[in-house]
A and B are shown apart, each in its own frame.
Chain A
Amino acid sequence: ETGVTQTPRHLVMGMTNKKSLKCEQHLGHNAMYWYKQSAKKPLELMFVYSLEERVENNSVPSRFSPECPNSSHLFLHLHTLQPEDSALYLCASSQQRGPGRDYGYTFGSGTRLTVV
């Protein structure tokens, strides 16, 4: 266990469904991230939260809606997704925003999403 827990591990949903992905970290970190990992593509940063405030949204379609109710929890709400949204969605946390120099990210195991 890395200290970052994602649920569910697998999710199959229809294009008209609404579902949510959950991420929880027990590391006392202040920044959390959502990444999308598709086959044959680099990791795509979707959202960044720092101290529960969204600080970055990388042109993600509105059918993805993040929520960060506190510094330990991060959600990704999904609605009317497309088949091309099928991917592994990874959550990560870091001690603070701008962690590259001294810290690095701690990742969860991801949610494998399939849109049918």
Chain B
Amino acid sequence: AQSVTQLGSHVSVSEGALVLLRCNYSSSVPPYLFWYVQYPNQGLQLLLKYTSAATLVKGINGFEAEFKKSETSFHLTKPSAHMSDAAEYFCAVSDPDRDDKIIFGKGTRLHILP
């Protein structure tokens, strides 16, 4: 079965600093990977998705993620953090053994320090 592991349940960065949220996946086949964001009192919103077209994926709000097969990673980055980026971020993978159902990681809460 596919799974994702997010390193760090909480990450704090200063406003203007680089954001790096880590995600490693476990997959027996080429994976389809996603990052979702959840703002307070909201549902999850798709940030970006990797579907094998390109290893560097650009998403909304200036975020991007790079698929690295050799490292089984799909880390999320943003060059310069903004206060509005404070939210919880979920890495996810589709599981072809379960009708491509999306399996979510435990989430990483991003705190932005002024």
- Contact residues of A with B, CB < 8 Å? 2, 4, 6, 41-43, 45, 48, 56, 90-92, 97-102, 104-110, 112
Listed residue (B43, B100, B104, B105) with the most chain A CB atoms within 10 angstroms of its CB: B43
Task: Report how far A101 CA is from B94 CA in the complex, Å.
Answer: 7
Listed residue (B41, B90, B95, B102) with the most chain A CB atoms within 10 angstroms of its CB: B102
Which residues of A are found within 8 Å of B34, using beta-carbon distances? 100, 104
User: Contact at A107–B100, with CB atoms within 8 Å?
Assistant: no
CB distance from A78 to the nearest CB of B (A): 19
User: Beyond A98-B99, A100-B95, A102-B51, is A90–B104 a contact (Cβ under 8 Å)?
Assistant: no
Given contacts A43-B90, A104-B46, A107-B36, 12 further A-B contacts (CB under 8 A): A41-B106, A42-B104, A99-B100, A100-B93, A100-B95, A100-B96, A100-B101, A100-B102, A101-B100, A104-B34, A105-B46, A105-B102
User: Contact at A90–B102, with CB atoms within 8 Å?
Assistant: no
Task: Report how far A56 CA is from B43 CA in the complex, Å.
Answer: 22
User: Contact at A90–B43, with CB atoms within 8 Å?
Assistant: yes
CB distance from A2 to the nearest CB of B (A): 7
Task: Report how far A73 CA is from B36 CA in the complex, Å.
Answer: 24
User: Contact at A105–B44, with CB atoms within 8 Å?
Assistant: yes
Contacting B45 at CB < 8 Å: which of A6, A42, A48, A107? A107
Kindly identify, within residues 57 to 107 of chain B, every residue whose CB is under 8 Å from any CB belonging to chain A.
90, 93-96, 99-102, 104-107
Q: 4 closest A-B pairs (Cβ-Cβ)?
A: A100-B94, A107-B43, A100-B100, A98-B100
Q: Closest A-chain residue to B90, C-beta based?
A: A43
Q: Closest B-chain residue to A109, C-beta based?
A: B43
User: Contact at B43–A43, with CB atoms within 8 Å?
Assistant: no
